[in-house]
Amino acid sequence: MKILSIVGARPEFIQAMPLNLALKPHHEEILVHTGQHYDYQMSQSFFDELNISSPDYNLEVGSGSHARQTAQILLRLEQVLQKEQPDLVIVRGDTNSTLAGALAAVKLHIPIAHIEAGERSFDRTMPEEINRLVTDRIAELHFCVSQAGIDQLASEGITEKVFLVGDVMLDALLLVTPVARRKSKILAQLNLEPKNYSLVTIHRPFNTDQPSLLENIVNALNSLSEPVVFPVHPRTRSILHTIGAQPESHVKVIEPVGYLDMLVLEENARIIATDSGGVQREAYYFSIPCLTLREKTEWVETVDLGWNKLVGADEEAILDSWYTLNPPIERPDIYGNGRASQRIVEILTREGVNIDQNRIKPSYSSTHEEVKELS
């Protein structure tokens, strides 16, 4: 089976690695990078560190509004789909790349598999929530991280071709952490002692597009009495500069780091504060307490189990929880056992013959000249 996989942001790069390894012996995979994340540390460094082959296509859409970014991906990806004519398109998570990839495929009557299907924050002010809802509605195959995803899809009337596989990001973490421990020098470079610092990441529009909320978070960080490592997303850095927010000296503002360094920073932190869904899960896998800088999360199980606490961008709530969050000893394997990629490939191999072959295929009218520039 010829599979076209779409990636565009950090969690998708990470997920691509274990699934690529699992797919290779059985199927042909075409990897398309939308260019949604284009900064080296947010993009190419992941391919370099994880020893993933460079993408077959880079759409180079860059930054922009949600509408512009989604539209550019649709326009450029359509040409690739028309050229490659894959049997299946794989999309992941909840980014603009996810939504645009699914829309481009369904318009060309190409079946879609959605990894991380069924996750919901129930907050439609988040663009990611809309991306999830639409993608699940038009996907052919739904790969769920946990039983909560299965149950949510069922409540929305989606019960066919829904599979519990676990978290591909856990697959990647288990594969790469031993390598990160050997190779990363980030603790020495930043003069950090394990469990004597905290780690913060902020990139969601909810926080970055509202200066008062970002200021609240920075004020909370400035009030802490321990070293804080703050790898700053390019968009976040720009807004910090615009609003004149000045982190204190104990807040180590650094450039975005690669995957190996990030794993080491996460594993050795005393506590993590983030608005990232991927980092919430990675904190859980490393048994690190997590404060989520959002009002809601799609990873509700981590909150229910006491390992994660929602504090939003409330300065008082952040400070009240920073030293008092005390998770239980128990940390069950709610997101699988690290074999999600193998499970997905088994299902794709089995279901490949069952994917609706009676869909009307479109006429592929684009010329070779129209698409060769993307090759």
Which one of the listed residues 33, 114, 203, 233 is annotated catalytic? 203
Tokens coding 221: 């960080």
Cβ contact 311:293 at 8 Å: yes
- Cα–Cα nearest to 43, from 76, 5, 8: 8
User: Which DSSP category does 185 fall into?
Assistant: -
Q: Which amino acid is at 336?
A: G
Tokens coding 169: 């990001």
Tokens coding 173: 């973490």
**What does residue 238 show for φ and ψ, rounded to 5 degrees?**
-60, -40
**What does residue 100 show for φ and ψ, rounded to 5 degrees?**
-65, -40
Tell me the Cα Rg of the chain: 20
Instruction: Show the DSSP H helices in 246-353 as ranges.
Output: 259-268, 277-285, 300-304, 315-322, 340-351
End-to-end CA distance of the chain: 21
Residue position matching structure tokens 């909320």: 213
203 is catalytic: yes
Tokens coding 331: 């940390």
Instruction: Show the DSSP H helices in 6-95 as ranges.
Output: 10-23, 44-49, 66-84
Tokens coding 185: 């020098």
**Cβ burial 37-73 (10 Å sphere, 16+ → b, else e):** bbeebbbbbbbebbebeebbbbbebeeeeeeebbebb
Q: Which residues are catalytic?
A: 203
